[in-house]
Amino acid sequence: MKTVRVDPAALPVAIIGANGMLGGELLKACTRSDFPVTALDLPKFNLTNHEDVAYQLKKIVPRYVLNAAAYTDVDGCEEHPGLANAINGEAVGVLANACRDIGAVLVHYSTDYVFDGTDPAGYAEDAAPNPLSVYGKSKLEGERLLRASGCKYLLIRTSWLFGPGRRDNVVEKIIARAQQDGKLRLVNDRWGKPTYAKDLAAVTLDLAAQEKSDGIYHVTNAAPDAGITWYEFGAAIVALVGLKIPVTPCASHEFPQAAARPVHSLLANTKLPPLQPWREALQDYVAARRGIA
Ligand SMILES: NC(=O)c1ccc[n+]([C@@H]2O[C@H](COP(=O)([O-])OP(=O)(O)OC[C@H]3O[C@@H](n4cnc5c(N)ncnc54)[C@H](OP(=O)(O)O)[C@@H]3O)[C@@H](O)[C@H]2O)c1
């Protein structure tokens, strides 16, 4: 089937959460590809200020709204369920209603944590969600309100997101711990699929350039169907940055966390061409960070 693309210059885009990890990559990708872009984030744009959200979007009149804003501290959500639901749930409904009113397409990002991770075969786009944590429940509520709003949307679920822009991103955390302790112990009994924020941003703009607005997508870097463990991911990070330290596997019960996490956190992409393999994406990230470190 022929892919029809629009001229990016004719596609004004608004990015919400533009200072975040994914938001930052979306902003760079829009700038590189000549999409006219408006960047929105705290403190001037607060998703929990409902009237202002609708007012600002009506002023900008974007064709695509990319919502990369969220309360992403998974364990923090257990402590602050009201805030989690306000940002990850209710606010998505407000945004979706505003997008419907101005005829914009809302691209909203969700998570593997809407699934319970009990199925080692993984989860296709139409699998039934069953979140284990407050974070997962709040993100599922956002999905529900989005779908109920009647706006045109793309709902993109992703997992194990890494990329520059935040010192607390998972790859930097692993490198910092390895450097500090001179050794690493990493969980080897939870499986997932890493996603490079730069690749996810590129897919998003590709879908927008095709004027897609047709439902749910699962986007991760290519990985075995059974996923990889944190131990495998960490060992690859350590090798790529050239640290000569021991990396040993351990069980997740050795690192208790407030929020329950899915064991097989495996998003199956059945709709889009696969992204580059996760090791190549990680290599890209490490090469880019050499330039900035
Ligand atoms: N990180 C992951 O591993 C992962 C995995 C699966 C799915 N996802 C999803 O992917 C998306 C992007 O995640 P990310 O890791 O890039 O997020 P992030 O780095 O935590 O960035 C989130 C952004 O949202 C902003 N924000 C928070 N509350 C807001 C509010 N009330 N109004 C406006 N902006 C607000 C944050 O500002 P402050 O920094 O000032 O709070 C930050 O700039 C999210 O939907 C997330 O649920 C992430």
Give kind and range of the element (H or E) at residue 107.
strand 105-111
Confidence at residue 137, expressed as pLDDT on a 0 to 100 scale: 98
For the CA of 112, the nearest atom of ligand 1: 6
Q: Give the distance (Å) from ligand 1 centre to CA of residue 70.
A: 4
For the CA of 139, the nearest atom of ligand 1: 47
Helix 197-209 vs helix 278-292: crossing angle, to nearest 10: 110
Confidence at residue 167, expressed as pLDDT on a 0 to 100 scale: 62
Q: Is the CB of 162 under 6 A from ligand 1?
A: no
Alpha-carbon distance values, 261 to 35, 134, 149, 253 (Å): 37, 11, 29, 11
∠ at Cα 112 (109, 117), nearest 5°?
A: 165
Confidence at residue 292, expressed as pLDDT on a 0 to 100 scale: 62
Tell me the catalytic residues: 135
Q: Give the distance (Å) from ligand 1 centre to CA of residue 16.
A: 9
Structure tokens at 41: 């984030």
For residues 39 and 24, what is the distance between their CA atoms, to the nearest angstrom?
9
Confidence at residue 289, expressed as pLDDT on a 0 to 100 scale: 86
List the domains of the chain with CATH numbers: 8-168+194-220+267-275 (3.40.50.720)
Q: Is the CB of 245 under 6 A from ligand 1?
A: no
Residue-level pLDDT, tens digit, the chain, 293 residues: 467 777 777 889 999 999 999 999 999 999 998 889 999 999 999 999 999 999 999 999 999 999 999 999 999 999 999 999 999 999 999 999 999 999 999 999 999 999 999 999 999 999 999 999 999 999 999 999 999 999 999 999 999 999 987 667 899 999 999 999 999 999 999 999 999 999 999 999 999 999 898 899 999 999 999 999 999 999 999 999 999 999 999 999 998 899 999 999 999 999 999 999 999 999 999 999 887 65
* pLDDT tens digits, 150-198: 999 999 999 999 998 766 789 999 999 999 999 999 999 999 999 999 9
* pLDDT tens digits, 48-58: 999 999 999 99
Q: Is the CB of 23 under 6 A from ligand 1?
A: yes
Residue nearest to atom 18 of ligand 1 (CA): 20
- Which residue, 60, 30, 12, is CA-closest to 204? 30
Q: Give the distance (Å) from ligand 1 centre to CA of residue 17.
A: 6
Q: Is the CB of 161 under 6 A from ligand 1?
A: yes
Confidence at residue 5, expressed as pLDDT on a 0 to 100 scale: 79
